[in-house]
Amino acid sequence: MTDTPDQSAAPSAAERKARAEAAMRAAEAAAGALDGRDSPAPAPALAPPPPPAAGPEEDLRALGGLFAETGVPAALASRAAARLGPGAAGRLREDPWRLLSVPGVRPGQADHFARALLGEDARPDDPRRGGALVLHLLTEAARQGHTVTPAADVLTALERLRFPDPRRAVDAALDEAEVLALTEEPEFDEEAFEEGAEPPEPEETLGPARWALAEEAAAEGFQRLTLTAAPLLDDAALKGLRDGLPEDRSLALTAALRTGVSILSGAADGLARTIAGIASAAVSQGLRTAVAAPTDRAAADLAAAFPAGAAEGVAVTSLHRLLEPREDPSAAPGAVVYGRGEQRPFDLDLLVVADGAALDVELCAVLAEACPDGAHLVLCREPGAPPPAGPGRPLDDLEASETVPVVALDAEPPSGPLGVLTEAVRGGELTAVDAPGREVVIVPAEDAGEAVHRAVQLVTDSIPRALGIPVEDVQVVAPAAGGDAGAGALNAALKARLNPGPGAFGGLDPGDRVVVAAPLPQAPLGETGVVTGGGPHGLEVDFPGGAAVVAPAEASRLRHGWAVPVALARGTRRPGVVAVLGADGLSRPLVATAFGLARRHLSVVQAAGPALARAVREEDAPARRTRLARLVAQ
């Protein structure tokens, strides 16, 4: 199956794709988009920002005046400024439906804003409205992990939104070069060649240019690394390193040193030991080697797991820091600019990524382009790991492409009650475990309110008092941010108990724990820190990688972090974990990941009833529509 531009539209999809690529190249020149320097925030802006004509305070005042004039809640101003960038008020006056690109804004609200601003000129069939609706629908699909959506689904959704001419809306979005039309050629089977059989028709799909081009860049990067790779060591040196190793670790070492891209799968502890073995063996032979973890906190834990002296000469850090993030005033809103990329690749022979399953397609493209020709890349994963927080499923797609070796470490007997429970869940069974040291505690809750109450009690009293694990070493996790027992509700209750305050700095106070919900120049996605102060200059936060000042325009990327969604917590283990599980949003990978985050103690606040066991038994992660597997295999 291949993906080619749709040739039926006018102007042609090839022309539109060329325009999209030109727009992306222009963005790269200003913000280093897909050349390995830019990892934008989860939702795309509608257009590259114009040069700033005013400072952030002036922009906020202009937005406040515009929103007061049109009846939009003033609280939306900071989000609109963060999404639309400098000159946001002027851009909204030119095209009020741009408001739909701001997270949380619904089509009806954008229509209300447009009518308040344009009056009778706010027509239902306005091409600006059509293009914004299409991009909104595709962005919502991207929030569910999809990089492409069938065009027929988009047209149906536009009919439900009562756009008079859905095809015209799609054409308007394509003309803006922020959406691409792609034709997916079907795979032929034997029945397709039988006499009289009608060949299946190609399916037209639509995707934001941002994700479509990221998938193409990632595919090209993987192909390049595979084609330019040569063995990093000769046979004699490799044989010496393999002597005495178990077969699975020997295969993993061989794949890492002989092939350009490989996948390594295994349980957390076994992966950590194997990563340490591969990295230390490579360094012993003079190879430039790095190990990249999801966060700085996780990197510190991984480095500590190396045997004494084994980490010497190995760069063990977060992938974010390895890519060398930097501040750039010209960057697109929500973008992180990286110093490493196609023009300035890593100075490495071997890179091992500890949680490759957490990479969304955009960060995967950044990573692949930052690897120089001839470098070897090892992507690690735990079995049954959930897909990344952002769009795509690169590691699953790469494995499905059957173009790279996949090495699975031999299963080891689980270690202790926590290991037994986590392995059982991975196998589809929710089982009771013997935990004489209170390594696992199940706390039933009748409803969401009781679940929140129990979680606060565990964090602030029971776990520190009974187990000696301090509050700062306990992480609460939930399936999602929203809901009556989601991370947001849990954080509100935990703040009231642990650090009450007025929210002096955009809802945050000194002493608040925060989590990075979208990458910052100073910290990666999922990193937690503690607010130490703030003012007009920004928010002062102590992260594991050091103290940082988060500019006011970027502070919206932080959330309270006593409780976090599992997708943000993954990859960074804690001594104590409180998993608050309601009936919604559960799946086997999510539950296994939540349980696997605990090093010493896990409290499960069980508010899901029988739905928890059913989800573990029956529910895999929701499927995602992507193209990367086909693109890599081409």
Q: Which one of 195-209, 237-251, 331-345 scores highest in mean pLDDT?
A: 237-251
- Reported confidence tier of residue 633, pLDDT bands at 50, 70, 90: very high
| β-bridge partners, 326 | 337
Amino acid at 296: D
HSE, CB side, 13 Å, CA atoms: give it for residue 371. 34
Q: How far apart are CA 501 and CA 508, in angstroms?
A: 8
- 556 within 8 A of 79, measured Cβ to Cβ: yes
| pLDDT over threshold 50, residue 166 | yes
Please name which of 4, 43, 8, 47 lies closest in space to residue 27, comparing C-alpha atoms: 47
* Residue pLDDT, tens place only, 415-428: 899 999 999 999 99
Q: Please state the rounded mean pLDDT for residues 179-191.
A: 74
Q: What is the largest CA-CA distance in the chain?
A: 79
pLDDT exceeds 60 at position 310 = yes
Beta carbons of 595 and 186 less than 8 angstroms apart: no
Query: Would strands 325-326 and 337-338 be described as parallel, antiparallel, or unpaired?
Result: antiparallel
- Which residues are paired to 203 by β-bridges? 184
Hey, what amino acid is at 457? Q
List Cβ neighbours of 18 (8 Å cut-off, separation of 6 or more).
none
Q: In whole angstroms, what is the distance from residue 23 CA to residue 13 CA?
A: 15
- Mind listing the pLDDT tens digit for each residue in 92-135? 999 999 999 998 899 999 999 999 999 999 999 999 999 999 99
pLDDT tens per residue, range 392-440: 999 999 999 999 999 999 988 888 999 999 999 999 999 999 999 999 9
- Give the tens place of pLDDT for each residue, 253-286: 999 999 999 999 999 889 999 999 999 999 999 9
